[in-house]
A and B are shown apart, each in its own frame.
Chain A
Amino acid sequence: MNIRSGYFRKHLHVNLTDGEIERLDLSETFLEKYIGGRGFGAKLVWDNLRMHDFKIDPLGPENLLVIAPGPLTGVYLPSSGKCSFISISPATGMYGDSSAGGAFGVELRQSGIDVLSIKGRAPELSILFIDNDSTEIIPMPELKGKSCLETEGIIFEKLGTYAMHIAAIGVGGENQVLFACVNTDWSRNAGRTGIGAIMGSKNLKAIAVRGHKDLPVYDVNGLVAEADRAYEYLSKHKYFELWQQQGLMNVIEYANEHGILPTYNFRDTVFVRHDRINGEEMLDRYKIGDSACFACSMTCGNICLVKNGKYTGTVTEGPEYESCAMLGSNLGVDNFAAVLAANRLCDELGIDTISTGNIIGAVIEGYEQGILSLADIDNEEIAWGDEDAILNLIRKIAFREGVGDILSQGSLRIIERWPEMEKIILHVKGLEQSAYDSRAGISMALGYATSDIGAHHTRAWTIAKEMEEGQNWTDEEKVEIVIYHQTLRPLFDMLGVCRLPWIELGLNERHYENFYRYVTGRETSLEELLERSKDIYDLTRLINTRMGVNRKDDTLPYKVYARPVLTGPNAGKVIDKDEFQKLLSLYYKRRGWDENGIPPREIEAKFDD
């Protein structure tokens, strides 16, 4: 009870088909139970699904796209710039979400709404313009075919001000590439699960927001004192400087050393030329500036410029670890400039770097092994490290030309077309695997397999603990840590903040209980917040099981079981199928789901209101 502040209590709902715009009130129970971000999204998506009897085409007008910052988004505390994008993913056909940093979510909140939901399909390519209390759908067919970056510039010009934040899609989204992303603030992407394709299917090119309202905070002085303590802790951390300099790029070295760096489409886990694509190399020759999300002192964004050679003049914000590994070592590319060019191209076209890198890796391996003939790939040779062919393929995927048309449909359709690719491509439930090899640690594998959106690392990144403390823990402990991560990490998404200060610099999670208290005025404990987060995990699981997911889908890519790591510290390792199934059963039991992975019937009643 008593949420005294922290929310505007407003839900903006837009139906693009008939241009209907509603401002709905959010109830106290809703705010308390679902907190924000992913929580709001999951609930609204669930309600929408029930309305359509669970038969929904992700790319149809009836699919609901929810954009939700959290109650902590935009307030004075470390890294508070996150905003979640939630919907039914076209890649997996199940629940999907992705979050973006930057300041788009902050601006959205400042316009006076806590959650935005979009349904329908605009008759022509349009943008949504939210200017504080007014909301307009503006047709802008001239934006067709424009890159994410160009789109922002054109909208600034058309609307006559630059003082706003924009979430836009590129050609990939317009063409409904199933792993298209939404690009906010130029290069902060909500990358995974194909949210960009959903915007494309709704004929919505961009959302421009301008807001100037005070963010509701119950106790500003308390918040400032607590936030100062948190900032202070971060700035004194021994790795703080490394983070400011390298951002996530420092993980390349770490991943290589521990044998979890995807190399040659996950055939290997160490990359011989890792020193050419790591953080040191970036600092030495490419980095020209820092970039941070809202209120973040860690500045993990790196602005890089290629100063000489073939890609001279390429500027990009990034790459971060995932992009660099998936477009670099995973494709055998050992030229950092080429990785930057590929990253930039993906940003411009608006497609996810992780899925793109994964799929191109599979194409190269498939072609090498003869599963794909030369004719299959449009008579254009491709090989490991062939930069030109890779860039060309990225372009073809976004424009859906030739083989790019099938590749743009994601893993499931690729396997449908060429069944043998099942053995080569790494995905769980249709979402391509992130850049951490899971053969090294079974808890990471369990995290991938049971993640509600597919093989994505931010649900349970438990591999670090397994690397540091070895494999000698009991199964119970392994399941426990996966569940703990799957509960705590979504909480960050719900609150609307970034998890990196916690996971990377060890900022105590207790801070967030205080932040929440100071912002909302509601007395609570971390345990209670985690309980809410756990409920959301049940809810997203419920969504998935209602759409047909069960134990058989909580599986791992073929390679993880069958293809041992070739070299490095984890050479010879695979995940044992039986051992994994045993762990999975234990996981279901701990979650309170049945042997088939289905949450009990009575859980549903929890989300009825």
Chain B
Amino acid sequence: MSRKLTVIPEQCSGCKICELVCSIRQFGVNNPKKAAIRVIVVYPHPVLRMPIVCSQCKRSTCEEVCPVGALRRDNGVVQLDKDVCISCFKCIEACPFGAIYAHEDCEFPIKCDMCGGDPECVKKCPKGALRLIPEAALGEVRRLNNVLSYTQMKEIEFYEKGEKKVIQYAEIGKEEL
């Protein structure tokens, strides 16, 4: 079963350990700017700490725009063939998520290769914000949360024989004192 590297932004604390371990694994250097995953922290909204990483799209734009065919799918992972790549960076521009990166020191685009199936970032994330999830299970958390959110509902309006009625649910959480 194929697994996806998935991000749960609500869990991310913005510590950037994923960036560090990625750069160490890819280039052997301590430089978060050379990682194939980046945590974007957006101000002023403090809740958005979102790691951006390649989704290995099945119909990948990067693969389609590459003029020399340097990006090829291998076992579900889009890999960059550095022998073929001409460093035009069209893939970086084309990626709808901005998940391929450039660095002034690097000749080639920096792209997630899933570390051969066992991503370092997933192993080292202290918050469990990065996960390898079976494709079929994608969206499960959100589905469950949507269902659960109904338990927060305090009342439900409905019509019975043309008459409007309201059912009060037990209130969840403490009221403002």
Contacts and interface: CB of A to CB of B under 8 A. Distances in A.
Interface of A: 74-76, 103, 106, 110, 149, 152-153, 156, 162, 185-187, 211-215, 217, 220, 223-224, 231, 235, 244, 284-285, 288-297, 299, 301, 303, 308-309, 315-317
10 contacts: A76-B24, A106-B32, A110-B32, A110-B33, A162-B42, A187-B46, A212-B31, A217-B29, A291-B14, A308-B176
B104 A289 contact: no
Contacts of A299: 13, 15, 126-127
Given A110-B33, A217-B30, A308-B176, A76 B127 contact: no
Contacts of B24: 76, 220, 224
B105 A212 contact: yes
A297 B104 contact: no
A74 B104 CA distance: 19
A153 B31 contact: no
Given A76-B20, A303-B46, A220 B28 contact: yes
B43 interface: yes
B111 interface: no
A301 B41 CA distance: 14
Contacts of B11: 290
B66 to A, nearest CB: 25
Contacts of A152: 43
Interface in B89-133: 103-105, 124, 126-127
Given A76-B24, A153-B44, A186-B44, A284 B174 contact: yes
B16 A294 contact: yes
Interface of B: 10-11, 13-17, 20-21, 24, 27-34, 41-44, 46-47, 49, 103-105, 124, 126-127, 173-174, 176
Contact of A153 (B29, B32, B43, B49): B43
Given A212-B103, A289-B47, A297 B17 contact: yes
A244 B125 CA distance: 13
Of the candidates B15, B33, B41, the one having the most CB atoms from chain A within 10 angstroms of its own CB is B15
A289 B44 contact: no
Contacts of A110: 31-33
A309 B175 CA distance: 10
Contacts of A214: 27, 29-31, 34, 105
Given A215-B30, A244-B127, A292 B14 contact: yes
A220 B29 contact: yes
A224 B23 CA distance: 12
B12 to A, nearest CB: 8
A231 B126 contact: yes
A309 to B, nearest CB: 5
Contacts of A215: 29-31
Nearest to B123: A228
B30, B42, B174 pick with most chain A CB within 10 angstroms: B30
Q: Which 6 A-B pairs give the minimum distances between C-beta atoms?
A: A297-B126, A292-B15, A292-B13, A290-B13, A214-B29, A299-B13
A290 B105 CA distance: 33
Interface centre among A156, A186, A290, by most chain B C-beta atoms within 10 angstroms, is: A290
Nearest to A79: B15
Given A284-B173, A289-B13, A290-B11, 15 more contacts: A74-B30, A76-B21, A149-B44, A162-B43, A185-B41, A186-B44, A212-B103, A212-B105, A215-B29, A220-B29, A224-B24, A231-B124, A292-B13, A296-B13, A303-B46
Nearest to B103: A212
Nearest to B16: A294
Contact of A186 (B10, B21, B46, B47): B46
Nearest to B40: A162
A186 B47 CA distance: 12
Contacts of A316: 46
Contacts of B47: 288-289, 303, 315
A285 B174 contact: yes
B31 A296 contact: no
A102 to B, nearest CB: 9
